[in-house]
């Protein structure tokens, strides 16, 4: 029997919060959540449907670690996206590097400014 019913949030360590916010808000289009109370440390919360992404401003314990070129071979946070082709064109226009899923699914992997891998999975077919 599993006691787990849902994923609530994923936390992501970022070394430079303004730079990370510029990516998550300016590139990915997320809006900071007004629902979360201030914490004793700096960060930002984003609501994505019923789940959340929590940026935590801390130096990465993995600084200098060589990450795999393809985010699918690294720990990553997977997000469902609508208008996958529009997202891809948006990333191309901004010069955001990504790799496509090797599984054949309509998915791509990019990295935030702290080298955290994000998977974007199409829900539009």
SS3 for 95? coil
First to last CA, the chain: 33
- % of the chain at pLDDT higher than 70: 99
Which residue shows structure tokens 């992404």?
53
pLDDT mean across residues, the chain: 91
Low-confidence ranges of the chain (pLDDT < 70): 125
**CB contact set of 71 (below 8 Å; sequence gap of 6+):** 99, 109, 110, 111, 117, 118, 119
Global pTM reads 0.89
Q: List domains and CATH numbers for the chain.
A: 9-60+67-122 (3.10.180.10)
């Amino acid at each position: 029997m599993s006691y787990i019913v849902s994923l609530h949030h994923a936390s992501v360590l970022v070394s430079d919060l303004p730079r990370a916010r510029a990516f998550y808000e300016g590139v990915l289009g997320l809006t900071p959540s007004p629902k979360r109370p201030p914490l004793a440390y700096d960060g930002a919360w984003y609501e994505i449907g019923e789940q959340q992404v929590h940026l935590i401003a801390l130096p990465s314990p993995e600084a200098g670690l060589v990450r795999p070129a393809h985010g699918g071979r690294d720990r990553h946070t997977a997000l469902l996206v609508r208008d996958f082709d529009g997202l891809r064109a948006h990333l191309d226009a901004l010069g955001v590097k990504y790799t496509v899923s090797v599984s054949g699914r309509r998915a791509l992997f990019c990295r935030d400014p702290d080298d955290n891998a994000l998977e974007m999975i199409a829900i539009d077919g």
